[in-house]
Amino acid sequence: MDLFGTPYERGIAESDKAANKWTPAELEAVDAAIRRCCYFYPEWTADDVWQALGRDFKVTKGLAARLNKAANDGWIRATDRTRKSRRKDQHGHGQRHTIWESLRRQ
């Protein structure tokens, strides 16, 4: 680990900063979209959250921070697998997303 943390820790810190660009109402919408994914899918990725939010929702890199919060709150668990992004917009560009496992399905 270097003086400024691991690459993962630095990435999460950047995601936290980006999430601060969302209003409280937008943060609640993101959290609600994550919960909807938990209820509807046994496994899913960030693409599914963005789809639930709709194409006009303000995109930031803050989603990783909200996903980690959901994991810490016991809603989801990261699998050891990833999936290439299905998004075709400027933010899709072939990223590999963690596949999340829902822990609170109904």
Q: Where exactly are the structural domains of the chain?
A: 7-102
Burial class (CB in 10 A: 0-12, 13-18, 19+), 66: buried
Q: Which pTM does this prediction carry?
A: 0.80
What CATH architecture does domain 7-102 belong to? Orthogonal Bundle (1.10)
CB contact at 8 A, 97 and 45: yes
Percent of the chain clearing pLDDT 90 (strictly above)? 56
* Residues of the chain falling short of pLDDT 70: 1-4, 8-19, 88-93, 106
* Two structure tokens written together for 33: 């979209």
